Amino acid sequence: MGDPIYLDYNATTPMAPEVLEAMAGSLRDDWGNPSSDHVYGRRARESVERARGQVASLLGCDGDEVVFTSGGTESNNAAILGLAEALADRGRHVVTSAVEHPAVEHACVALQGRGYEVTRVPVDGQGRLDPAAVDSALRPDTVLVSLMHANNETGVLLPIAEVGALARARGIAFHTDAAQSVGKLPVRVNELGVDLLTLAGHKLYGPKGIGALYLRRGTPFSPYLLGAGHEGGRRSGTEPVPLIVGLGAACALAEAGLPERRRHLTELRDRLEARLREDFPDLVVHGGEAERLPNTLDAAIPGAEVSVLMAALEGVAAGSGAACHSGTTTPSRVLRAMGVPDALGRCTLRLTVGSPTTAGEVDRAAQRIAEAARRVRAAART
């Protein structure tokens, strides 16, 4: 049968050939320390700054507003903890949503352990968030709003531009985790109205272990990695030049091919949903009525518990809308926040297509999922 058809692009992406090529050259040539003043250091530093410009171009910001990090988790932690600490004397209240990635949610929990209050704004049954609910949650002591641009499970988009305008009118800093949306949708910091933004390399065909934090010039920030003052004093540690070069190359690719990629992903996602619905008219698409990422289909086949389905499914690598461990299946926190019944949450597959996905792969994957689901349903009835 060969390698399984990969439908888990929201978890990670393979590196693009152009990224691999750029990194290979950097591994060979950019071995100097970018902080050194001799030719080897200058060569490495030039590669870092070239990549910084590529990231900035994709986001529509200036290069000195891009801080390289180890990935999305560090960027989210740095944004939330770094800004909260910098503004601790102004207030100790943070607003976020009930469906954030664990890297944001756990950072907020850490703040609560330090005496901060955190308001988690709910979403509706489609995963949508009402900007008015955010506005109502803002207080005189609110120092930060942190909302994801697109949910990693359902793909549902949050109203970042609308909330950005509300936050700016109140003089409140605004962070968005855009790890899932960068490379799939236009993500321009001024259009979104954000002060901080998270980007992760391995979500857009770049390498793992590298990300970036957009930090609007003048935004208060207290770095929590301390050392020799790299990245303009905002994130200490010798720069991993080949990884940074890879991130820059991935951002350049994302910017160049965005309209066509978006069309391709939308067509394949809709094709996958249509094929599955032919076999299962009772298919439930979480967030199906909301504006979503073009590549994401978070769908439940009632009666086919995902832990059993994944074990029966051959030839398809997919994600799950539930955590499967110790013989039990726990629906995701996101689905529960949307009010999805646990019985349906336990039957949810997260299917995400990517740039390399073909229509033929979608058709074959749908057939294999349908065959496995029918077997699971039949076994459950006996």
Catalytic residues: 324
Find how far residue 119's CA is from the centre of its chain: 21
Q: Which residue type occupies 187?
A: V
Q: What is the dihedral of CA 100, 109, 247, 238, to 10 degrees?
A: 180
Strands 93-97 and 117-121: parallel
DSSP letter at 16 equals P
Sheet of 117-121: strand order equals 66-69, 211-215, 196-200, 173-177, 142-148, 93-97, 117-121
Strands (E), the chain: 5-7, 66-69, 93-97, 117-121, 142-148, 173-177, 196-200, 211-215, 284-285, 296-300, 316-320, 322-325, 328-331, 348-352
CB-side exposure of 38: number of CA atoms within 13 Å? 5
Residues 147/120, Cβ–Cβ less than 8 Å: no
Hey, what long-range contacts does 276-284 have (CB within 8 A, 24 or more apart)? 276/301, 276/366, 276/369, 276/370, 279/366, 279/370, 279/373, 279/374, 280/370, 280/373, 284/344
Render 125-192 in DSSP notation, one character per residue: TTS---HHHHHHH--TTEEEEEEESB-TTT-BBP-HHHHHHHHHHHT-EEEEE-TTTBTTB---HHHH
Strands 316-320 and 5-7: parallel
Q: Any idea what the Cα angle at residue 296 is, between residues 294 and 300, rounded to 5°?
A: 140
Collapsing DSSP states into helix, strand and coil, what is residue 5? strand
